[in-house]
Amino acid sequence: MGRSLHRNKKTFLNQTSISFWQALGLAIGSVIGSGLLFLPTLTYSYSDSSVGYVWLISLALCIPLIFIFKKIVFLSSSSSGIHSVVSDVLGTTFGRFTSRLLFFTVILGMPASAVIVSSIVGERFSTVGKLIGVLIIGVSVVVNLRGLKLSSKFQILAICFLLALSFILFFSYGHLEFFEFFEFGPIKKMGKGVVISFWAFAGFENLSFFAKRITNSKRNYPLSMVLALLICGILYLGLTLVVAGNVSPEIDNSRIGIFTLFKNGYSSWLIFVVMGLAVLSVFINFISWIYGISTMIQSGAESGAFPRLFKGERNGIPRQAILLMASAFMLSFVLQLKSDTVFEAVLNIVSVNFVLVYILICVSYLKASSFGITWVFALVILAIMLVSIVSMKYYLLYPLAVMTLSLCWDRFGKSLSKIEYD
């Protein structure tokens, strides 16, 4: 691995450093997104009166996970994030699989976000709804092609508006009794709710691909993640309680999510608040994930995880990788927009994939680290995730298919990637 790590380090040193506020914006953008719109209704439909505890459990699991990520990121001298760590500990086969699984997850999950926004806006403005998803994808791609300085300004401004709109919606329903949704229920129902809710906090792995570029990274990297987790966790829990207090758990339409509130005839002016939430949250999410995953693809092209074609950059911007993602996003968006069955399957597949990525990360950490408090936390989190993921059954076929394709690429793709493997 010496040669590929050396080249990754060289590319890394030529890239722009990231300030704490830019890192915080990218952290919030990586975590928040369409989940803010559909997870309140989806977790409530799965967990009913246990939904409050479901979110608290997920939040509690993610806090130690942040410090595990911190330790993992700095285990390797490479700047390739979790790819390099998994490669060093479990071998290059698992390292490349992790990167490829993330890519094949993001090209499903992000377009699903755009579908949700299109559905929400389309409930009131049908023509605009069909175009808004495409517009969000297009603008996010263009902003990333212009560089970090511009994209971070867009992102921070959008986050401020998002927080303001979220508080308006929450306090509009602040008179409700929420404690009835903090009850322990059947393990199977709560477990499924926890797995699905992990979609909300999937994003830490995205930051790992540029963590070492953050100024004073050993302090600011975990700090930005903790603040992002707390901000997003409060928003997810608050909006879920709003939904739980106003909507029956049997009513589940994941495409329109919290817009379901207005099926019951609530204040019409709040419709525009929800539309603003939808557009801003997904726009912020797209900016962060395009930035992180394009960085991953570029460094992965150095190590053999992706074709060498995507190694190129201009002024520190991985244009080929960004354009690859744009093409995949558009295709996936159209397919999900046309088929409810595909869309519903995607929601579950993406959650399973992220849990599987976290399992690989935990296993890598346990194998590479010595016994201690964080090690015990990692073991507990690993056990919970293994129990939870079993309940997802046939949705596991997707990551198995990616693993098969990954092994085939490693076996037969040398001539296509034109790179000297380790």
pLDDT at residue 268 in the model: 63
Cα separation, 270 vs 262, whole angstroms: 8
DSSP secondary-structure letter at 17? Answer: P
pLDDT at residue 183 in the model: 63
pLDDT at residue 419 in the model: 45
Best CA proximity match to 322, nearest among 81, 141, 137, 94: 141
Best CA proximity match to 117, nearest among 99, 131, 96: 131
How distant, in Å, are the alpha carbons of 21, 132, 174, 237, 281 from that of 278?
23, 10, 21, 17, 6
Q: Per-block average pLDDT, block size 10, for the chain (422 residues)?
A: 39 61 82 72 72 79 76 68 77 85 88 83 74 88 80 76 76 62 66 70 72 82 85 82 69 57 60 77 84 84 80 77 90 85 79 83 83 82 78 78 84 56 44
pLDDT at residue 14 in the model: 43
**Which backbone phi and psi does 315 adopt, to 5 degrees?**
55, 40
Best CA proximity match to 228, nearest among 51, 54, 34, 62: 62
Domain positions in the chain:
2-409
DSSP secondary-structure letter at 16? Answer: P
Q: Map residue 295 onto helix, strand or coil.
A: helix
Radius of gyration, CA atoms only, the chain: 20
C-alpha triplet 87, 389, 297: angle, nearest 5°: 35
pLDDT at residue 420 in the model: 43
Cα separation, 410 vs 243, whole angstroms: 46
169 contacts 277 by C-beta, under 8 angstroms: yes
Best CA proximity match to 155, nearest among 294, 282, 38, 272: 282
pLDDT at residue 65 in the model: 74
Alpha helix (H) residue ranges in 245-393: 269-303, 319-338, 340-368, 373-390
Cα separation, 106 vs 123, whole angstroms: 26
Residue 118, amino acid: S
CA dihedral 101→106→111→117, nearest 10 degrees, is 140
**Could you identify the residue written with the tokens 């509130």?**
261
CA dihedral 288→298→8→308, nearest 10 degrees, is 170
* Tokens standing for residue 132: 């808004």
Average model confidence (pLDDT) for the chain? 76
CATH number of the 2-409 domain: 1.20.1740.10
List beta partners, residue 317. Answer: 314
pTM listed for this prediction: 0.74
Cα separation, 142 vs 319, whole angstroms: 10
Cα separation, 368 vs 64, whole angstroms: 17
One DSSP character per residue, 128-158 reads HHHHHHHHHHHHHHHHHHT-HHHHHHHHHHH
DSSP secondary-structure letter at 317? Answer: B
Q: Map residue 279 onto helix, strand or coil.
A: helix
Please write the tens of the pLDDT for every residue from 253-294: 555 566 666 655 555 666 777 778 778 888 888 888 888 888
